[in-house]
Amino acid sequence: FNMKFFDHRIIDINFDSEDVFILKVKPLRGRVLNFKPGQYTRIIIPDHPKTREHFFSFASSPENKSYLEFCIRIYGNWTKALSQLKKGKIIKISSPMGSFIWKNGIRNAVFIVGGIGISPFMSMLRYIVKKNSIEKITLLYGNRTQQTISYKKELEEISKKITLKIIHIFSEEKEKLYIPAYHGFITKKIIEKEIDFSAKPVIFITGPQVFIEKMLPVLGKIADKEKIKFELK
C-alpha cells in the first residue's frame, strides 16, 4: 500500500483546552482532499525526526472545501512540536484512510466518545447538519473535566439544528456541574439508561484504543453486534 503525501500550509493553530489544539491546513497545490466523514490521515512534520507514525481523524466536514481541520491532543514530543508550529509552516498529509465512516441511510445513531475521539464525530456531525438526514443522534461524551470538552459551543449549536442529545460523563470533575452529566466513566448502566436499543441504532465508538477495548465487551452484551462500528488505527 503506497501512501501518497500532499504538502499543506498551516493556516491556523488554536488551543481548545489546556492540552488540545485545533489545527487548520490548506493544500499548497490543488484542491482540498476528498474524504468520507470518519476517515483519518497520516501527518508528517518534514524536518522532525519521526519517532512513529501519527494518524489523525479529520474533524472538518468533507463538504468543507476551504481547509482541513484536526483536533489533536498533546501526548508526547511529536504532538507538542506540531502544536508549536507557526502559521505558514508546511506539513505533509497522506491520502485518506479508514472504513469507520458515516453512511447516508442511517436514521438513528449513538456515538460513544472518549476525549479526543470527538474528531471523526465532528466530521460526521458537520456533514449530517448540512444533509439534514437524521432522526436522532445520542452522544455519550467522556472527558476528564468540564474544561477538557472539545467543540463544546459548536456541539450545543448543532443540537439546536438536529435531534442531538448530548450526555457528558466526567472522570475527574471536582467542581459543581453546570450541565446535566455523570461522574465517573461510561458504564453499562449509563448506556442502558440513556439509549433506546429498541430503535436499533447504529453505534459508533471512538477514542483511544484502551477506551474502545473497554467499551466493546460492555456493548456486546446489550447491542446488536452488526450495529457496532469502531476502528483501531
Please give the single-letter amino acid code of residue 211.
Answer: F
What pLDDT does 164 receive?
A: 95
Residue 195 and residue 108: Cα distance in Å, rounded? 11
What pLDDT does 178 receive?
A: 67
Strands 136-143 and 164-170, bridge-based pairing: parallel
| More confident call, 95 vs 2 | 95
Cα atoms in the Cβ-side hemisphere of radius 13 Å centred on 1:
5
Do the Cβ atoms of 150 and 118 come closer than 8 Å? yes
Q: Detail the DSSP E strand segments found in 83-128.
A: 90-94, 108-114
What does pTM read for this prediction? Answer: 0.94
Domains of the chain: 5-94 (2.40.30.10), 108-229 (3.40.50.80)
Q: Count CB atoms within 10 A of the CB of residue 26.
A: 13
- Residue 5 bridge partners (DSSP): 94
Alpha helix (H) ranges present in 3-89? 77-83
Residue 61 and residue 38: Cα distance in Å, rounded? 9
* Tens-place pLDDT, residues 205-217: 999 999 999 999 9
Report residue 175's pLDDT band, with 50, 70 and 90 as the boundaries: confident
Report residue 177's pLDDT band, with 50, 70 and 90 as the boundaries: confident
Report the pLDDT averaged over residues 10-19: 93
Window from 18-27, 54-63, 123-132 with minimum mean pLDDT: 123-132
Residue 196 and residue 178: Cα distance in Å, rounded? 25
Report the pLDDT averaged over residues 47-65: 90
Q: Which residues contact 144 (CB under 8 A, 6 or more apart)?
A: 115, 170, 171, 172, 173
pLDDT surpasses 90 at 232: no
Count of residues making up the chain: 233
